[in-house]
Amino acid sequence: MNIRQIQEARELYGIEGWGNGYFGINDQGHVVANPTGEEHISVSLPEVIEEVRKKGLTAPIIIRFPQIIEGQLQRMHSSFKTAISDNAFKGRHMGVFPFKVNQRREFIDAIVESGRKVAYGLEVGSKTEFIAALGYKLQDDALFVCNGFKDAEFIELGFIAKAMGKNVVMVVEGPDELEMIIARTAHYKECPDIGLRVRLYSKGSGKWEKSSGEQSKFGLTTTEVIHSLQILERANLKEKLAMLHFHIGSQITEIKRFKGALKEAARVYAKVIKTGFQPCYLNIGGGVGVDYDGSKTSFESSANYTLQEFANDAVYVLMGVCDNEGVPHPTIVTESGRVIAAYHSVVVTNIREVQGADVNIDADTILDLEHVDPSAHKALNELRYIVNNMTRKNYVEYYHDSIVYQEELFTLFNLGYLQLKDRAVAEELYYRICRKALYFSGFERHPSEEFEGLQKVMVSKYLANFSIFQSIPDSWSINQLFPVMPLSRHDEKPNLKATIVDITCDSDGCLTTFIDRSDTKTVLELHPPSDSPYYIGFFLVGAYQESLANEHNLFGAIHEVEVHTSPDGEWEITKTTEGDLIDELLISRNYDMEKITTAYGDQLDEAVAAGRLTQEVRKQLYDKLIVCTKGYPYLSEE
């Protein structure tokens, strides 16, 4: 046990900052989850992986902790409860979870289950999401909020939901949707509640800032709001206007942006009430940020406020405006998704190989690197000399000399004057010189730009057995940062600087930016490979990553397990779901597996007829092909 090193690892990977009380490193140097937020109830992630392997499943794997979902729902709800009681606010808080943040059934099941305790509802933005949501029986007054652009069929579903007894609010995006609602009232006994999505001038902050404000694609302008109120009045549906809604974007990094939007929305709410309408819900949207880098700042991967601060400000600002206008306090509806879902899942995978470190092959036994060979080209021997004689005093000059020798040798090879072995010796020597130069530059108080650049080129590439496009698509599409770290060996110094590449045939399938408390960094510190499997975890990936996943190279959904803890500190895997198998992925792309397997058989028969195979071998090969079609598309762990 190396307690000092373990503490260094906690700081290096910033786990106490972004872990939010759910993740840490134990005294054995293993990453642990604390799904209930209690320190004494912990789950060692390497042990979970061991259990998963016993079940015959291999990496990559998602480990889900449904208790973290419950914990986040509770934290949201109790933050509002505290703020409401501290301020003697007269309204209540009701949460809805936006389906699009993670539509996997396993996840929504957990949301619904945990949500029953705090009357949590669901928000949908399409007919498909609505159809799925309608299958869930929530607590009686829990809300079903329907956002998004709607056609007549979507609107009709709202009426059916109402007839089923659901507390449904159809939030209209434009007056045409209102007309469609009015047209249906003649055919149904009860009309669902109606909401208006208001376009605010106030903007969000961070990556989604541009999608909010006056130019947003969503929400009614003030004229459209007035027009909508007139339409409702004319249709005798005044009492059906139940909700005003706004959403200024996801991952709001600065609390002051929320405050500005809340002030503006509260004013609109109060003015609408003053025109004789009685909406009781003010839906303040989602957008609560997740502190992915643990810095607690307004940096785009962070958020400079806590959930409690968000709830306090929401209650305080809304109350101030409502009291000032003399209108009743609303029920505050939140639609936060990211902050509820992000923490609950971890993608774990194994490292298949390390490229670029002196680890894969023993170059000294393959090549004669050390001995000066009088018959070798002069430049090769110069490189040998530099490797052996580089010091802290001369490393800059020697490094520059080596560049010249290396280029000279490269040209000689292209002109046909050197053998393949000479080229290998030159590559290997030059590589060692760079490593040594970097080592010496590490002693400088301010390393030069040249050596910082060299550091980026010289990193080891860790080949991780997963697809970035499937498991963390936002890191590819919008440069979203997620905490990444090994699951074990934290009692050992991670002395290699690495980037991560995935197994897709795409050069974009790599991670070259990592979280850092004071900035971002271009390398991740990892341990050198050993004989045991090396697992790394991608954390805080529970929001949006599964819903935006794509099957680049036909790598599909990965295996998943759910882990629960009991009050006595025990944990168990309560559910295992296999990932997409190869034939399922092909079928989803319209391949006919019967046609494919028949074609295999025909081609093997031809090989038998031509005398290239015996019947016995034909059968073995055919059976192997069939087993492969039912396999996991990721690399096996052998």
Ligand X SMILES: Cc1ncc(COP(=O)(O)O)c(C=O)c1O
Per CB under 6 A, residues contacting ligand X are 98, 101, 147, 247, 250-251, 285-288, 335-338
- Name the 3-class secondary structure at 491: coil
Q: Which is nearer to ligand X, 251 or 345 (CB)?
A: 251
Q: Which is nearer to ligand X, 79 or 565 (CB)?
A: 79
Task: Name the minimum Å distance from CB 287 to ligand X.
Answer: 5
* Minimal distance, residue 249 CB to ligand X, in Å: 6
Query: H/E element holding 608?
Result: helix 593-609
196 versus 383: smaller Cβ distance to ligand X: 196
Task: Give least dist CB 520 to ligand X, A.
Answer: 21
Pairing between β-strand 460-464 and β-strand 496-501 as defined by DSSP bridges:
parallel
The distance of closest approach from Cβ of residue 288 to ligand X in the complex, given in angstroms and rounded to an integer, is 6
Q: Are 487 and 25 in contact (CB under 8 A)?
A: no
Residue with tokens 């509820």: 340
Task: Please identify, using beta-carbon distances, which residue of 36 and 334 lies nearer to ligand X.
Answer: 334
Residues 6+ apart with CB under 8 A from 128: none
In the complex with ligand X, which residue's Cβ is closer, 72 or 402? 72
Q: Which is nearer to ligand X, 317 or 340 (CB)?
A: 340
Report residue 186 as tokens. Answer: 């003649």
CB of 103 to ligand X, least distance (A): 13
Beta carbon nearer to ligand X, 355 or 547: 547
**Cα–Cα distance, 38 to 62 (Å, whole number):** 22
Do 292 and 299 meet the contact criterion of CB atoms below 8 Å apart? no
d(CA 573, CA 593): 33
Nearest approach in angstroms of CB 205 to ligand X is 12
Residues 6+ apart with CB under 8 A from 234: none
Whose CA is closest to 69, among 343, 303, 291? 343
Residues 270 and 249: beta-carbon distance below 8 Å: no
144: left (phi over 0), alpha (psi -120 to 50) or beta: beta
- In the bound state with ligand X, the residue whose beta carbon lies nearer, of 251 and 312, is 251
CB closer to ligand X, 123 vs 428: 123
Closest CB 345 distance from ligand X, rounded Å: 15
Dihedral sign, Cα of residue 112, residue 115, residue 117, residue 121: negative
Place of tokens 């979870």: 97
Structure tokens at 428: 């290997």
* Smallest gap from residue 338 Cβ to ligand X (A): 4
Do residues 101 and 126 lie in contact, with contact meaning Cβ atoms separated by under 8 Å?
Answer: no
For ligand X, give the closer residue by CB, 247 or 436. Answer: 247
- Dihedral of alpha carbons 390, 391, 392, 394, sign: negative
d(CA 306, CA 94): 19
Nearest of 76, 618, 575 to residue 334 by alpha carbon: 76
Token pair 């494919």 is found at 596
CB-nearer residue toward ligand X: 33 or 145: 145
E-strand ranges in 356-449 read: none
3-state secondary structure of 443: coil
CB of 92 to ligand X, least distance (A): 19
Which residue lies nearer to ligand X by CB, 122 or 387? 122
Q: How many CB atoms lie within 10 A of CB 386?
A: 23
Q: Pick the closer one to ligand X by CB: 61 or 340.
A: 340
Query: Minimum CB separation from ligand X for residue 112, in Å?
Result: 17
176, with CB counted inside 10 A (0-12, 13-18, 19+), is exposed
CB 252, min distance to ligand X, A: 8
In the bound state, the residue with its beta carbon closest to ligand X is 286
| Least distance (Å) between residue 512 CB and ligand X | 26
For the CB of residue 256, give the shortest distance to ligand X in the complex, in Å.
17
Q: What is the DSSP string of 311-348?
A: HHHHHHHHHHHHHHHT-PPPEEEE---HHHHGGGEEEE
247 vs 559 by CB, closer to ligand X: 247
Task: Give the amino acid at 299.
Answer: F
Whole-number Å distance between alpha carbons of 125 and 110? 20
Specify the 3-state DSSP secondary structure of 560.
strand
Token look-up 């936006």 returns: 98
The whole-angstrom separation of Cα 345 and Cα 363 is 41
Q: How far is the CB of 76 from ligand X (least distance, A)?
A: 10
Strand, coil or helix: 587: helix
